[in-house]
Structure 1
Amino acid sequence: MALTIYQNVMSLNTQRYLGQTQNQLSKSLERLSSGLRINHAADDASGLAISEKLRGQITGLKRASMNAQDGISMLQTAEGALGEVSSMLQRMRELAVQAANGTYTSNDRIEIQKEVDQLKDEIDRISTSTEFNTKKLLNGDGTALWSASSDAISAIIRDDVAEGNYKIELNTQAGQNQVFKTDIMTLKDGIIGAEIVTSGSSSGNLTNVSFVSDPETMPSTGTAYFSVVISGNGVIASSSSTVQTLAYYGQPGSSFLVSNATAAATGGRSGYIEVEFADDANAGDTANVTLNVRFIDALTGTVSQWVKVTAAYTALSSSTYTVDTAAAGLQNSAGNTIDIDFSFTLSASGSVQSGDKVLFSLSGGVAANGNYAGSGGGSIQLTGGPVGQNGPTIYFTAQNSLTPPDNGDTITDYNQVQVYYAQLNTQTGNLDLGNLTLNFKELSNDQPTPNGRTMTDAFDLEITGAGEAATTTTKLKDISVFTDADGNNIFSNKQELTIWGNGSNITIYLQGDDTIADLEQKLEEAIAELGMGSDSASVNSHLVDYVSMPSNSGERSVKGTFIIQTALTGEQGEISFSGDQALIDAFSLAEIQESVNNTTKVTVKDAHTGQLVGVDETSDDRVYGIIDGVEIVIDSRAGVTETWNSVTQSIEFATDTSSAAKEHFLHVVDNSTDLQIGANQGQSLSVSIPQLDVEGLGIENVTLVSQTLAQRAIPDIDAALNKVVTVRATIGAQINRLEYTITNLDTARENMTAAESRIRDLDVADEMATFTRYQILSQSGVAMLAQANQIPQMALSLLQG
């Protein structure tokens, strides 16, 4: 071997090996420091690729297991809330069974209903407020979201939905509404009523008198109605005072006849003249006869003092006497002298006795050109009645004395005009003085006018007595059904009557001084406020009708009853009543027409493509199964029109012919909760909890205020319980599934972690042996490098020799 100085090949060789040893020693030291067999891709390229994939799966499985745990927590939150809903439904069912028992009064059931209402409110609150991480769980939003183009349709989310935009067409056959009738409202003893029953005009009552109220001691008419004649639409010519003989009272044996009755001065006051004979006279007697005379004012009811008047004997072919009241000082209530003249004659065998009577009517005259049409004045005359007498004509010449002017507001103003009616009892001789109030309403104008306008017409007036049907102006305290067997009137205290319907209720307050008309108005307003009225004013005005003029057949054949109904068909239009048991018993409400749901053909199409999705026909206003997961709720007004038929006197429902052309749109978006329970795409569990408020459970109309309604509520609550139990069972099954899922995920993660460990983790024992080997080799290499570096020095030995 050559010995060189410039090139030390052995040193280079040693350095090369030492470098390799150092490199391997460095890698071994890195592995031992990191604990990983693969620290760089160069360490094991394929192993790194497999390891990274396994790592992704391992971390995914770990996160999926945590997701499943979160899902269990969410489902347990929902199930816990539904547990309380289930408990509340069980309590509601218990209350329904309790209220269905006949031992309870209406007041008792009202108290039961209060708890039911609170339970329903709490179910709604739980549905609205139950959340997990701000995500609503029980109101349906966690499953799907929806919106509709009109109030005619709405949706209840039942399950996973097929999202999209849907066009819904409705073709409806109208059902019928529920109709109630009350007990007959009759007048109690000592009470009379007054009712406008017909009109002298073919166009109806054209006068300003809307109603007649507060009758007192008026004679019952039966079918012999009074006729009330109102004059005033025009210019009235001057008229003189007139007097007319109305009735006689003669004791047995009396026989006389009044004639030639005239009137001069009367002071413009109208009323009645009662004449009573104070002496006896027989045919052939020539002595004068003394009479007692008094005036009864038809406007104020004031009865003057008796004045004595002499009937002067006149020698004629028969015994005739003439009377002049002027000299006697007879005056009216205004202090004006009344001057009437009349004669009475005794037949050949006739006589008059002390106590015999004659009754006259006196109509005071008016000046010429009284423009009643422009002043709101006019005249009133009460004629006919059971004895067929013509009462005096009462003139009203003062401005607005009959009809008030229109003041331009939205309230109809009335002027109450009281008139008096006198009738001589031909059996007893007593003078019966009664009165009633005519209510003149203003006539609407575009602008307020200085004076009212009195319209001319006539109408027939019925007066009813005890045991007969009450009138619209009768006060509730004067109706016999509101007085119990002990004589106690239930309106000695204010009464509350609650009307239930459309998932809500409203309470009206009734007092003894309320009239039949007041009760009618309060009930109508309450039903309309419940949203069970109509857009038609004519329909709303007949939601509650009091039958004062019965028809020959049909709902209005019973006089004195209320007819109560809504403007909605089917179950959506059903109402019920609660209040003091005595009040409910007094009304004795009877269902004379059951509600019938509309029958609706529902056609659903894709709103974008027009492709048919499905068709179904329903008679309960709900359709489920056409759109996946969505129950379509149809308003009973959709596709139906309601009108008031003035001929049949009923609210009629008919198919809206234009409804078929109407298109309703429903937008549905899937908003279900997907739990990612796997490491890879598509490994998820869909959780859909339906809408579980009172509407979704179908108990929004559950009321227990009557025995019948309580019995009907039991199956509704059972159905709601079944829905809750079904959802809870589904949630429970999903929780169990997720627990198995977690176990499986953890097992898979464990096995994958072991596989990944075998690829990437370092075998420390094996690596320590490797490290020791390279450490020794490194030390040896360094030593050998030192020796190799000494070789060139051997050349010096040769030079020294």
Structure 2
Amino acid sequence: MRINHNIQALNAYKNLSQTMGQTSKTLEKLSSGLRINRAADDAAGLAISEKMRSQIRGLETAERNSLDAISLIQTAEGALNETHSILQRMRELSVQAANGTLEDSDREAIQKEINQLTYEIDRIADTTQFNTKKLLSGSAEGRPFAEVNSSEVSYASNGTWSGVVTAEPTEPAQVEIQFDKNLGSLTKAQLEGKTFTINGKIYEIDNTDGTSQGITGRNIAVNISGWIDNVGTSDANITSNITKLMNALESAVIQNDSQMFNVNKNLPTNAGTANDGVINNGTLTLSTTSPMSPKDVQDLGSLNQINTTITSGVTFNNPLTNTSTTTLVANPEAAQAKPIAITFSEVPKAGDTLKIDGLTISFDSPAISYSNGSATIDVTNKDLDEVLNDIDSIITQASNDNPTPVPALAPVHSVSNNSLILGTTKTDDGISPIGLPTNGLDIALIDGDFEADKGKELEVALQIGANASESLSLSLGVMDAATLGIARNADFSILSTAGVNAVVGVNVSNSEAAQLAITAFDKAISLVSAERSKLGAFQNRLEHTVTNLQTANENLTSAESRIRDTDMAKSMTEYTKNNILNQAGQAMLAQANQLPQGILQLLK
């Protein structure tokens, strides 16, 4: 017998330790529900099940992707449903306009509704989005990076939108007729038969008896009575004569040209002593009844010419500059700036350009600071807010540039959301010399790749499987008015450039045009029907895809469960067995620990 080594106790301890280890693993399986909690539990099973888990989670995500794609299709198809309704209404209006019982005014009302409905089709195509992705206006490369909310700016060609925005005139055109003391000193004979030419009409002075209708019989009479021939040095006589002529001319203009002019009168006054010859001029101001721009005045042609055959005492004056003139003059500056918004749909790309009067902003790399009317903005890794703030900063520099600020830009400009707000106080003066236009705010927007990509359908790649290359391509057609063939330019010529909004709708101004409009709307309805049919078929396909993904996910999850999940009944049986062995092992270890006590009997 030995006391240094209790072999029986060591053996009992070893077996007890193994049993307790098995019990611990069984408890872990029972508490987690997993058969494999670590690689050591089943190395091969772990590798297989992890690969299955990748597939399962991929299938779940692909199912969500497919459902998102269905939602995208439903969004587009819902918008096209409204487009269909609009086209049906437009066709109905065309059939109505083709009826010979209508008058031109009736068709004009129909044309207005067709125009508005055409604009709405363009708006639907421009604004229908899913997760900010525009669905019905083609590929992103086939849309301009910004749009100008003014009909004065329109598509030219080669990806260029240009035009001149002008403010509405807020003042009438004017001319001052100034009568000085020399006029009041003339005799009847010197005035007799003299003329004023105003608005193309000849006003002829009759200073004999004040009753004639113009000496020539063709002109408008300016009848003066009581003219003082020998005024001498009397300031009172001079001012009296001037007053009589001004009153007579005023009456004649009001009687014969009141639709064109309002007349304002400041009579002459004695500025000094009674007979010192110092007299304040009399002024007769002719103002047009309607506000006018310089271009409006220019369009009057010869009617805006003002002159007289009186050689002394009468001058025509420009009230804006207090200088001599022979024509009506209009203020080129409006009282308030006309606002205009340039709304950006995306960050400009390299090669795009924005021109504002004498300012040219290029988007490229590297950035170049503002100098002499131009600047370059580096758009690399910039968001839209940063780019808009850069543009606003450059406009501020250009507006304050000395001596050549941007000529037509209003003092106020700002950034609001994704829009650049500009304005101009310049009315249309009709002057467009080579170089800088001066008749308003010149806007040009150049999209470098628009022309090459216009009209391209939107391609959406859908990941509908758990693995690479398991994708599907969805094509969404351009559904704006131009693509549907119902967009027109201002002269009713066909506007066929996709991505460019219509100026007016299809012409229904007469019966023949309305007949052609019916055909045009039939074709448009057919195009929308084909697109909706395509989207509906695609949705049906995706619904089957979703069902297939759900089935594959279910079966693969079942297979992974068989590898990874624990069999609770089997594990509970194992746990019960190990629990009994633990109790037996503990009892045997206690007995083995008592065996060395027998040595004490030998030592007595």
Larger proportion of strand? 1
Normalised to the residue count of structure 2, the TM-score between the two structures is: 0.50
Q: Which has the larger radius of gyration?
A: 1
Larger proportion of helix? 2
Normalised to the residue count of structure 1, the TM-score between the two structures is: 0.38
